Amino acid sequence: MRAKGPVQMQDDDNSNSPLMAHALDVIGLLKDTRLTVIESEPTDAMIAAGMAVAGTSAERTRAIFMAMLAAAGKLPTRTQ
């Protein structure tokens, strides 16, 4: 089950721990490199947004999403 909204730190949590510092460093690196973490399967909201923008069916929108994820891990090939 996923938490809804931001996670709140309690006063008794060790928010200055080395693990928290490392986690924040990783988030900073993701931001600096313009990378994002997304669902591996599109949510209903993602499908609805894609359908609204592209005017495609849910099945087609899901296929496009999955194709984009598959392509994201591959380096582009050079054409001459």
In tens, the pLDDT along 55-74 reads: 999 999 999 999 998 888 77
Q: Is 61 exposed, middle or buried (0-12, 13-18, 19+ CB in 10 A)?
A: buried
The two three-digit tokens of residue 10, written as one number: 């309690």
Phi, psi of 43 (to 5 degrees): -80, 170
The two three-digit tokens of residue 25, written as one number: 């460093």
In this structure, are residues 65 and 44 in contact, taking their beta carbons and an 8 Å threshold? no
Beta strands in the chain (DSSP E): none
The position carrying tokens 């005017």 is: 55
In tens, the pLDDT along 2-60 reads: 455 555 555 556 567 999 999 999 999 999 998 888 888 999 999 999 999 999 999 99
